[in-house]
Each structure stands twice: as structure tokens, then as C-alpha cells.
Amino acid sequence: MATIIVLQDGQHLGPARLGVTLRDHGFKLDYRRIDRDGEAAVPPDMDGAQGLVVLGSPEVPTEDLPWVTRTMDLIRQAHEAEMPVIGLCMGHQLIARALGGEVEKLPKMALGFEPVELTVAGQTETMLAGVPWSVPMFQSHEHHVSKAPPGATVLAKSATTPVECFKAGIRTYGFQYHFEFDRPGITRHLSSLKKTHSDLSLTLDQLEGQLAENYALFARACDRLCINIASFAVPFDRLLAV
């Protein structure tokens, strides 16, 4: 059974629908909880694993905390070994930094549903097959990838975020939007944010309105993306070899 290392920083920031899909496709998930174990949660290498998922975090992606530095080292190892590397939100930003891209703070926090448009390259990308060329995605970030890594291909963009998704090398993908969240997870996330941010531009009532309008299309697109990741990220011959 192929093992995927999952770096998680917070109870409500788990892999959710992506984790369920990976398990349903026969992957074993090796959870590493940064919020509990700090730097020690990040393994020194990818020995015994066939892939890496780096999830979001409430920390600042441009601050070189010990676990951040160690995570970027692990990202580079997995990337250079041509293993699948999937980053979401801050994970997306750390992949960019690890591979030579740039991350900056937004003038205003991106929060709530926003249309994400596939670029021409994204429209023909296997990992995004079946995902609409324009789809509302749930956003929650104060920083963004302002410059993709050298040689990377930008696959999606939005009005607030020019690099919503990129591909670097063969199997390294970063996603700024939270395609992993299910409906209860989105509500829990906003409730958690309200404990630390007193000036949010989105209320729970407003979120419910956005969910009513956008969730059905969002969920279909995100389910398809998760299936694509589980189906195409790890080559079949590698699965047979483990």
C-alpha cells in the first residue's frame, strides 16, 4: 500500500475530502501534526513514502519557523525525486518558496467563494480534467504566490490571486484555494477564524448565502479534482512496486 505523508497544522485543517478520496483509492495516510509536535512532526526524508501533502496553516508562510524550513527541505526532496507533492493554501505557498518562487501578503484577506479561471495550460492539464474552466472556489488566505517557481506552469488564476494553481516538474502541484473542505468544514473554518480575526469581511450569515449559491458546483469540481489526484499522481507501476 502506497503511503502519503500528510503535514497538518490544526484540527480543522485536515485533508477532508482529499483524505477520504486517497484512502478510498488504496493509499495509506501518514498524518504528521505540526500543531502538536512542532518541528519534530516533519520527517527528515521521504523514506518509505510515495507522496507528500502539505496542508494549510494559520502561521505566516514567509516566516522561517523551524518547521517551515524543514517542510521546505522535505518538499525539495520529494520534488527532486519526482514524487507527487500536493500543497493547499499555505502548503501551496511553501512549495513555491521551496522551489524558488515568491510569496507576498495581499492588501486584503481573500475570504469566501470567488471564481477561479483555468489558464490555457490549465484547460489541457490532466490533473484538472473535468474541472470547469470557471468555478467558484473557497478562499481563505492573507498571503499569495506572487511569482511561481522558475519553470512552473500557472494553471489557474482569480481576480485577487494571479497564481491560484501551478504545476512544477512532473508531479508537484500547488493550490491556493481550499478544494479539500466539505460544507461543514467551511463553516467550522470561518468560526475558527473569527476567534483570531475581529475584522473579517464575511459573516456566518453571508457565508451561508454563498454556500447556498455555490456549494453544489464547488463540491462537484472538488470531488473530480480529488479523484484526479488519487488516480494520476502516483504512477501505477510505483503502486505495484510497494
Inform me whether the pLDDT recorded for 169 exceeds 70. Answer: yes
For the question of residue 143 being annotated catalytic, the response is: no
Return the higher-pLDDT residue of 73 and 2: 73
Q: What is the pLDDT of residues 138-151, one digit of tens each?
A: 999 999 999 999 99
Strands 85-88 and 51-54: parallel
- If 0-12 CB within 10 Å is exposed, 13-18 middle and 19+ buried, where does residue 216 land? exposed
The single residue of 178, 189, 222, 226 carrying the catalytic annotation is 178
CB atoms within 10 A of CB 236: 9
Residue 84 has pLDDT above 70, yes or no: yes
Q: Provide the 3-class DSSP secondary structure of residue 233.
A: coil
144 catalytic? Reply is no
The pLDDT, as a whole number, for residue 235 is 59
Give the number of other Cβ atoms within 10 Å of residue 151's Cβ: 10
Report the amino acid identity of residue 133: W
Tens of pLDDT along 190-241?
A: 998 888 887 888 999 999 999 999 999 999 999 999 999 999 877 544 554 5
Mean pLDDT, residues 8-32: 93
pLDDT per residue as tens digits for the range 85-115: 999 999 999 999 999 999 999 999 999 999 9
Q: What ranges do the domains of the chain cover?
A: 3-237
3-state helix, strand, coil split of the chain in percent (to 5) is 40, 25, 30
For residue 104, the cross-strand partners are 144
Residue closest to 9 by CA, chosen among 52, 49, 67: 67
Span 119-142, pLDDT tens digits: 999 999 999 999 999 999 999 999
Res 9: pLDDT: 94
Residue 227's identity, in one-letter code, is: I
Q: Which among 89, 165, 222, 226 is annotated as catalytic?
A: 89
Contact 83, 50 (CB under 8 A): yes
pLDDT tens per residue, range 25-51? 989 999 999 999 999 999 999 999 999
Query: What fold, for 3-237?
Result: Rossmann fold (3.40.50)
Pairing of strands 85-88, 28-33: unpaired
- 54 neighbors 95 (Cβ within 8 angstroms): yes
What's the gap between Cα 198 and its chain centre? Answer: 25
Beta-carbon contacts of residue 9 (< 8 Å; ≥ 6 apart): 33, 34, 35, 55, 56, 57, 58, 59, 90
Neighbours of 115 (CB within 10 A): 12
Range with lowest mean pLDDT among 30-39, 152-161, 167-176, 189-198: 189-198
- Strand pairing of 102-118 and 134-147? antiparallel
> Which pLDDT belongs to residue 216?
97
* pLDDT at 238 (0 to 100): 53
Give the per-residue pLDDT at 240.
Answer: 46
% residues pLDDT > 70 (the chain): 97
DSSP state of 200: -
Of the candidates 180, 189, 222, 226, the residue annotated as catalytic is 180
Q: What's the average model confidence in pLDDT over 45-60?
A: 94
The pLDDT of residue 90: 97
